[in-house]
Every structure is written in C-alpha cells, then in structure tokens.
Amino acid sequence: MQLPVIVAPMFLISNPKMVIESARAGIIGTFPLLNARPISVCEEWLTEIKEALPTEKWGVNIICHKGENPRYDEDVELIKKYQPPLVITSLGNPTPIVEIVHSYGGKVYSDVVIEKHAKKAAMAGVDGLILVCAGAGGHGGQLNPFAFVAAVKSFFKGDIILAGAISTGADIAAARAIGADYAYMGTRFIVAEEGNAPDTYKEMIINSSSEDIVYTDAISGVNANFLIPSLTASGINVSELTSGKGKMDFDDHKAWRDIFSAGQGVAAISECQSIAQIVSQLKAEYEEACNRLNVLI
C-alpha cells in the first residue's frame, strides 16, 4: 500500500472503477453492495473487480439489519460466492458475517459511533472497528477522535480505522499518530473522476466550507452531516429543520440523491481529480507531515 487509507463505501457514488483504481493507486477501495441493483448487476460488479484485482485488497459494505436491507440474504450469498477480502458491516449484528468471512480468510470491519456499539462489535469477533467520529460525512457520530480512539484501544486489540473530517495527508498522519491503523476517507473521494457523484455534487463540495455543513436527523431519520446548499436548492429552509425528532417530510426530495452529504473537511478540497492524482497529493502531504513530526521529536 502507498498509504494507510480505506476509501469509504459511499451510497450511490462508489462503483467498480473506484475500487479498482484505488487498489492500483495503493489504497483500499470499497463499495456498498446495495449500490448495484438488481442483484444481477451486483454479480457483474463483483466479477469485474475480482478479475481486475486477483491479489489486491478491496472490500464491500453490507447492511446487516434485515429491516434496513431487504436484500440481506442475497447479499450474504454473494459474499460467500465472491469472497471479498474485506467486508464492512453497518447496522445490526455482524456475527453471521464474521463467521462467513473468516471461513475463507477475509477480514470484517464494523463501523461504530459510540463505545457501546464498539464493545458489541468487538465481542462479535470483528477484525477491525471503524470509529466514525464528529465531522464525518454520512451518518457520523459526535465523539472526538482523541477520546474515541483511546477508549477503544483500552479493550480492543484489532485494527482501528478512523473516520471524521479526514481530507489531507496531514490528517492521515494525525490519525496514525493517535493510534489508528487506517484513515477512512469518503468526502475527499466524492470529487474523484471515477465516481458516480453528479457534477453539481462535486462542484458543491469544492465550493463549500465547514460552515456549509449541518448535522441533523431530519433528513434521513438518523443524524448525519449534509450540505446546506443542497438543502437550499431543494427548497428546504435550514432554520426550520427540527433536529432530535426524526425524519421530516420533504415531498420528493430524497436524502443522498437530492440532498447531498459531506464531512466537515470539505474546505481542503479544491478540484476534481482522478483517484491516482488524489492519492499522489495525499502521499506528498502525508510524507511532509511525517517529516514535520520527526523534526519536532
């Protein structure tokens, strides 16, 4: 690997090309199984990735809660058949997935936003915990990364993957410095040329700052960070959002499709680039940051 980075599986955005180009650039690419619909398309995606990356590490994301993923059983069968090296679980109990993935030598990482969930996932036997901290795009948590990493390391000896406003190589170095094994990056790769994000989404990322992010459960029913300009464009008055009471009715405007999510690290993103170019920039920034740390020590 060129960098200790996992590209987060992004709903509607991640695709086989992103996964393949990430691996070729020296990082780990992933995609949500539910991005490929119907199930026949998902099989095509998995076949394409396996043929392109016979030995490299890559991964998929599965929603474990059957209420949130009506395709759960079919997705499990795909995991058994195609054996992705890394499986990222979200929501629900990861235990059945752990048993399946460990049977063929793969790894399971679970994303968590609070210590209670981290302990449950650790008890299930996962190989890594993705700590989704304050400022993360999508369904981010509210914990400070310093506190969350320290708490989890006190009871978990597996891989620690840190998420939350990580947009530069210096951020990756900082994540490593506080004990993370990998940085988990989503927002930085929304603007990747290979992804499925529409141009309006990419332009909004480039033109936004941290002040353009709102954290609310009113959009999807679960607390997440969203771009205020996308809310405004959808005719939604941000001042009228009622947080803490669950999803509001926005007629035909849908979360993720019309109302865009992003993390607080958007200010560091200034242009659309290929994945190879993004990784090259991150690597230079990472090495510069590591050199600064060595000088300080």
Peptide bond before 38: cis, by omega within 30 degrees of 0?
A: yes
150 part of a folded domain: yes
Are 32 and 60 in contact by the 8 Å Cβ rule? The answer is yes
Tokens at 52, concatenated: 């392109």
Mean pLDDT of the chain: 94
Q: How many whole angstroms from its chain centre is CA 9? A: 5
Give pLDDT, residue 96.
Answer: 96
Checking if the pLDDT of 234 tops 70, the result is: yes
- Average pLDDT on 260-284 reads 97
Give pLDDT, residue 240.
Answer: 75
Q: What CATH number is attached to the domain comprising 15? A: 3.20.20.70
Choice between 76 and 293, residue whose per-residue pLDDT is larger: 76
Give pLDDT, residue 219.
Answer: 84
Choice between 249 and 46, residue whose per-residue pLDDT is larger: 46
CB within 8 Å of 37: residues ≥ 6 apart: none
83 part of a folded domain: yes
- CA dist 245 and 241 (Å) reads 10
236 part of a folded domain: no
- How crowded is the C-beta side of 171, counted as CA atoms within 13 Å? 22
Of 29-43, 175-189, 192-206, 215-229, the one with minimum mean pLDDT is 215-229
What are the pLDDT digits (tens) for 10-33? 999 999 999 999 999 999 999 999
Checking if the pLDDT of 202 tops 60, the result is: yes
191 part of a folded domain: yes
Number of domains, the chain = 1
Percent of the chain with pLDDT strictly greater than 90 = 84
Choice between 69 and 257, residue whose per-residue pLDDT is larger: 69
Checking if the pLDDT of 252 tops 60, the result is: no
- Average pLDDT on 108-119 reads 97
206 part of a folded domain: no
Give pLDDT, residue 295.
Answer: 79
What are the pLDDT digits (tens) for 280-296? 999 999 999 999 988 77
- Average pLDDT on 121-137 reads 97
Give me the DSSP letters along 189-210.
GTTBTTS---HHHHHHHHH--G
Give pLDDT, residue 12.
Answer: 94
Give pLDDT, residue 251.
Answer: 56
What are the pLDDT digits (tens) for 149-168? 999 999 999 999 999 999 99
* Residue 35 domain boundaries: 5-196
105 part of a folded domain: yes
- CA dist 268 and 290 (Å) reads 19
Position 148 confidence tier, pLDDT thresholds 50, 70, 90: very high
293 part of a folded domain: no
223 part of a folded domain: no
